[in-house]
Amino acid sequence: MQASKYQISEPVLIVDDKASIRETIAELCTELGLPSECATNGEEALAMAEDDRYSLYIVDLKMPVMDGWTLVPKLKDKLHNPIILIATSINDPNQIIDVMKQGVFDYIIKPIDPELFMITLRKTIEHIYLRRQAEHRIRQSEKELQSKLEWLVYKENRRNQLADAEGKNLVYNLKTSISQGGGLGNAISIIDLIEALSTRDGENYIVPAQMLDMLFENNKISRNTTDGLNLINNILGHGIKPADMAVQDFVHQIGTSLAMIIAAAERKKLRITLPDLHTTGQFQIDLKLLNLVIEELLVNAMKYAGAGTEVSLYAHITKGFFCFSVMNRLADNDPATIPTEFETLILEPFYRHAKPNDEFYDLERFSLGLGLTVVEYIVQKHTGVFSIHQMRDHTQEKPRDCVLAEIQIPMMQN
């Protein structure tokens, strides 16, 4: 049987008083590439768990010396968020509910069905892997948060209507230049080719279809550019219109909001992991604009993600801020890395650090290197912080370079 695509190196601790059960579970763990160790009762398991080196605990409920009912709360008191699976012969729904109330991740009915066990174990491994990624990112973001907040307060105090007016004039002049200049430079070259390769046939011209296809394609790109500039003008002109919203509701609607973009990820065989949030709270946001931010971050991540890799979306609340992150894994030897000295520069208008990428041009709202500039503007109007930087992902068997884009929006105080 194929090992799980989510690899974890720490062993599983199997706690059961029956040798046959321990051996069966250990063999199934081995098939998924998981090392395992065994304990015959809860007291023995508790001693083995002292150094917190196990990725997962599979615990029988009925054992001598110390049973599973007693062991589970002791593990939860001793360890930091242990992942526990209960192995039980109980199949009464009410008793199953009592089992889950112990705070375990899932349960396995005995006698063990290998196929069902594998499904549960794969799901558990994926949960452990994704949780570790999120915890790693949270630790990193918390270190940066305080210094960014101080800088944000300073910048917001300096921001005034004149700055907005300058932004409007900049975008307006650029839009006028593009529209009055006959479109982007490619159009001129394509029309020159059409003129050279076409032949006149009475009142008509015979033009190679490939040339017209190129012209039509260029027209779409040019239209996207001017539409994006119009959208920026509207954002600058009307500002944000915040309203109270529960963070859980915002996270819940993200999948629907991004449905078309997620479907397009298949072009590069990308896997999109949506966020999950169990913490409650309220914040004030302009839903339409904040969805635009998430959309832009996802498209940007998909453009520069390595083919066949995963783009992960995360959401959590920390120190009074709602934090939303998008992480894409780069292809090996990818030049689209972000050295520390460029992390601020890439937010500047019209700046491109990597070469242009048009794989998802039809999904892009903004071109000309303006996308991340718009993201920063909208986030700052929410009194928030935006950052993007490169990091090394060590959560997989083979470490890989990643790019992490993160926004932080203040929560409403109770």
Q: To which H or E segment does residue 53 belong?
A: none
- Beta strand pairing call for 106-109 and 199-201: unpaired
- A 10 A CB-CB count for 130 gives 17
Boundaries of every domain in the chain: 12-127, 171-237, 240-410
- Is the pLDDT at 144 greater than 70? The verdict is no
Give residue 350's pLDDT: 40
The pLDDT tens digits of the residues spanning 165-222 come to 444 554 444 444 444 334 455 666 667 777 777 888 888 888 888 777 777 776 776 6
pTM, entire model: 0.51
The pLDDT tens digits of the residues spanning 370-389 come to 778 888 888 888 988 888 88
Give residue 179's pLDDT: 42
Domains 12-127 and 240-410 share a fold: no
306-318 burial: b if 16+ Cβ within 10 Å, else e: beebbbbbbbbbe
Q: Residues 6 or more apart from 414 whose CB is under 8 A from it?
A: none
Q: CATH second-level architecture of 12-127?
A: 3-Layer(aba) Sandwich (3.40)
The pLDDT tens digits of the residues spanning 1-10 come to 455 566 778 9
Let me know the angle formed at the C-alpha of 23 by 22 and 24, rounded to the nearest 5 degrees. Answer: 95
The pLDDT tens digits of the residues spanning 331-340 come to 765 544 545 4
The pLDDT tens digits of the residues spanning 298-321 come to 998 998 888 888 999 999 998 889
Query: How far apart are the C-alpha atoms of 388 and 406, rounded to whole Å?
Result: 6
Domain 240-410 is classified in which CATH homologous superfamily?
Answer: Histidine kinase-like ATPase, C-terminal domain (3.30.565.10)
Give residue 248's pLDDT: 93
pLDDT band at 294 (very low <50, low <70, confident <90, very high): very high
Share of the chain above pLDDT 90, in %: 31
Give residue 200's pLDDT: 85
- Which 3 state secondary structure label does DSSP give 414? coil
Give residue 364's pLDDT: 74
